[in-house]
Structure 1
Amino acid sequence: MFMTRRSFLMGSLLSGGAVLAANATGRLYSLPQLNELYIPELIDARSRHQSIALEVQEGSRHFFPGRESITLGYNGSYLGPTLRVHQGDDSEVTITNTLGEDTTVHWHGLLVSGNLDGGPHQTIPAGATWRPVLPIRQRACTLWYHSHAHGRTARQVYAGLAGMLIVSDDHEKSLGLPSDYGVDDIPLILQDKQFEQGTLVLPQGMMTTMHGRRGDTLLVNGTVNPVAKVPPRLVRLRMVNGANARFFDLAFSDARIFHWIASEGGLLEKPVALRSLRLVPGERAEILVDFSNGRPATLTTGPDSSLSMMRMMTPMSGASETTVIEFIPQGTGSSSLQVPQRLHAPEPRIPSTALRRRRFELTMGMEMGMGMGNMRRDETRMSRASFGINDRAFSMDRVDERVNLGDSEIWEVTGTMMAHPFHVHGVHFQVISRNGSAPQTRDKGMKDTVLVREPVELLVHFNQPSQGAPFMYHCHILEHEDNGMMGQFTVT
Structure 2
Amino acid sequence: MKRRNFLKIAAATLATPALNISRAWAAEPGAPLPIPEVMEIGPDAGNTLDAIRGTHEFIAGAPSETWGYSQDYLGPLLRFRRGRTANISVANRLDEPITAHWHGMHVPGYLDGGPQLAFGPGETWAPELPIDHPAATLFYHSHVHGRTGPQVYRGLAGMIIIDDPEIDDPLPRNYGVNDFPLIVQDRGFDRSGRMTYNLGMMDRMHGFRGDEILVNGVIRPKLTVPAGLVRLRILNASNSRVYDFRFNDGRQFYQVASDGGLLNVPLATTSLQLDGAERAEIVVNFSDRSPVSLVSHDIGMGGMMNGGMMGDRGGSMMMDDRGMMGDRGMMGMAGNSGTTLDIMSFDVGETAPVGPASLPTTLPADAPELGDPVRRRDFTLNMHTGGMMRGMMGRDGQMMGINGEPYIMDRIDETVRTGETELWRINADMMMRHTFHVHGTSFRVVSQNGRSVDPARIGWKDVVRVQGPTEILLRFDKLASQETPFMYHCHILEHEDAGMMGQFTVT
> Shorter-normalised TM-score: what interval?
0.7 to 0.9
Q: What is the distance in 2 between the residues matched to 1:298 and 1:441?
A: 30
> Greater CA deviation, 452-461 or 311-320?
311-320
Match of 2:336 among 318, 323, 340: 318
Q: What is the distance in 2 between the residues matched to 1:71 and 1:406?
A: 42
Q: Give 1:171 deviation, angstroms.
A: 4.4
TM-score by length of 1: 0.87
Give the conservation status (yes or no) of the 8 Å contact 1:434–1:440: no
Give the conservation status (yes or no) of the 8 Å contact 1:236–1:287: yes
Deviations 1:386-405, CA, capped at 9 Å, x for gaps: 31111110000100000011
Q: What is the distance in 1 between the residues matched to 2:101 and 2:268?
A: 32
Give the conservation status (yes or no) of the 8 Å contact 2:51–2:69: yes
Give the conservation status (yes or no) of the 8 Å contact 1:429–1:446: yes
SS of aligned partner of 2:257: strand
SS of aligned partner of 1:318: coil
Residue 173 of structure 2 is matched in structure 1 by: 179
Evaluate the alpha carbon distance shift between residue 247 and residue 189 of structure 1 in structure 2; reply closer, same or farther with a 3 A threshold: same
- Report the residue type matching 2:312 in the other structure: R
Give the conservation status (yes or no) of the 8 Å contact 1:347–1:445: no
Evaluate the alpha carbon distance shift between residue 472 and residue 31 of structure 1 in structure 2; reply closer, same or farther with a 3 A threshold: closer
Q: What is the distance in 1 between the residues matched to 2:45 and 2:64?
A: 34
Residue 304 of structure 1 is matched in structure 2 by: 299
Residue 41 of structure 1 is matched in structure 2 by: 37
Residue 436 of structure 1 is matched in structure 2 by: 450
Evaluate the alpha carbon distance shift between residue 31 and residue 305 of structure 1 in structure 2; reply closer, same or farther with a 3 A threshold: closer
Give the conservation status (yes or no) of the 8 Å contact 2:105–2:440: yes
Matched, 1:462 2:476: yes
Q: How does 1:93-492 map to 2 (within 5 A)?
A: 93-172=88-167, 174-196=168-190, 197-308=192-303, 309=310, 311-312=312-313, 313-318=331-336, 320-331=339-350, 332-334=352-354, 336-345=356-365, 347=367, 352=372, 354-365=373-384, 386-415=399-428, 416-439=430-453, 444-467=458-481, 468-492=483-507
Q: What is the distance in 1 between the residues matched to 2:371 and 2:377?
A: 13
Q: CA RMSD in A?
A: 2.1
- Report the residue type matching 2:443 in the other structure: F
Q: What is the distance in 2 between the residues matched to 1:424 and 1:472?
A: 6
SS of aligned partner of 1:209: helix
Deviations 1:81-117, CA, capped at 9 Å, x for gaps: 0000000000111010000110001000010000000
Corresponding pairs, count: 447
SS of aligned partner of 2:451: coil
Q: Give 1:65 deviation, angstroms.
A: 1.1
Q: What is the distance in 2 between the residues matched to 1:431 and 1:475?
A: 16
Give the conservation status (yes or no) of the 8 Å contact 2:301–2:311: no
Q: Give 1:337 deviation, angstroms.
A: 3.1
Deviations 1:218-238, CA, capped at 9 Å, x for gaps: 000100120011111100000
Give the conservation status (yes or no) of the 8 Å contact 2:385–2:406: no
TM-score by length of 2: 0.84
Q: Give 1:348 deviation, angstroms.
A: 5.5
- Report the residue type matching 1:338 in the other structure: S
Evaluate the alpha carbon distance shift between residue 301 and residue 50 of structure 1 in structure 2; reply closer, same or farther with a 3 A threshold: farther
Give the conservation status (yes or no) of the 8 Å contact 1:45–1:51: no
Q: Flag the structure with more relative contact order, 1 or 2, with Cα contacts below 8 A and sequence separation at least 6.
A: 2
Give the conservation status (yes or no) of the 8 Å contact 1:311–1:317: no
Deviations 1:382-433, CA, capped at 9 Å, x for gaps: xxx7311111100001000000111110000113331111000001100112
Give the conservation status (yes or no) of the 8 Å contact 2:335–2:341: no
Q: Give 1:333 deviation, angstroms.
A: 2.3
Q: What is the distance in 2 between the residues matched to 1:217 and 1:31?
A: 8
Q: What is the distance in 1 between the residues matched to 2:75 and 2:452?
A: 38
- Report the residue type matching 2:108 in the other structure: S
Residue 78 of structure 2 is matched in structure 1 by: 83
Give the conservation status (yes or no) of the 8 Å contact 2:251–2:270: yes
Evaluate the alpha carbon distance shift between residue 452 and residue 33 of structure 1 in structure 2; reply closer, same or farther with a 3 A threshold: closer
Deviations 1:199-242, CA, capped at 9 Å, x for gaps: 10112222111111110000001001200111111000001110
Deviations 1:27-68, CA, capped at 9 Å, x for gaps: xxx99442111111011124x846421000010001111111
Evaluate the alpha carbon distance shift between residue 436 and residue 43 of structure 1 in structure 2; reply closer, same or farther with a 3 A threshold: same
Give the conservation status (yes or no) of the 8 Å contact 1:253–1:298: yes
Give the conservation status (yes or no) of the 8 Å contact 2:407–2:502: yes
Deviations 1:260-303, CA, capped at 9 Å, x for gaps: 00111100111110100000001000000001111111100111
Matched, 1:65 2:80: no
SS of aligned partner of 2:496: helix
Unpaired runs of 5+ residues, structure 1, are 1-29, 371-384
Q: Quote the sequence identity (%).
A: 44
Evaluate the alpha carbon distance shift between residue 32 and residue 98 of structure 1 in structure 2; reply closer, same or farther with a 3 A threshold: closer
Give the conservation status (yes or no) of the 8 Å contact 2:388–2:399: no
Deviations 1:331-371, CA, capped at 9 Å, x for gaps: 2225743211111257366552x11100001111289987x
Q: What is the distance in 2 between the residues matched to 1:346 and 1:81?
A: 27
Q: Give 1:469 deviation, angstroms.
A: 1.1
Evaluate the alpha carbon distance shift between residue 130 and residue 351 of structure 1 in structure 2; reply closer, same or farther with a 3 A threshold: same
Q: What is the distance in 2 between the residues matched to 1:336 and 1:491?
A: 42
Q: What is the distance in 1 between the residues matched to 2:27 and 2:127?
A: 47
Residue 328 of structure 2 is matched in structure 1 by: none
Give the conservation status (yes or no) of the 8 Å contact 1:349–1:430: no
Deviations 1:145-180, CA, capped at 9 Å, x for gaps: 0010111100000000000011001244x2331111
Give the conservation status (yes or no) of the 8 Å contact 1:389–1:487: yes
> Greater CA deviation, 197-206 or 252-261?
197-206
Give the conservation status (yes or no) of the 8 Å contact 2:261–2:366: no
Give the conservation status (yes or no) of the 8 Å contact 1:51–1:91: no
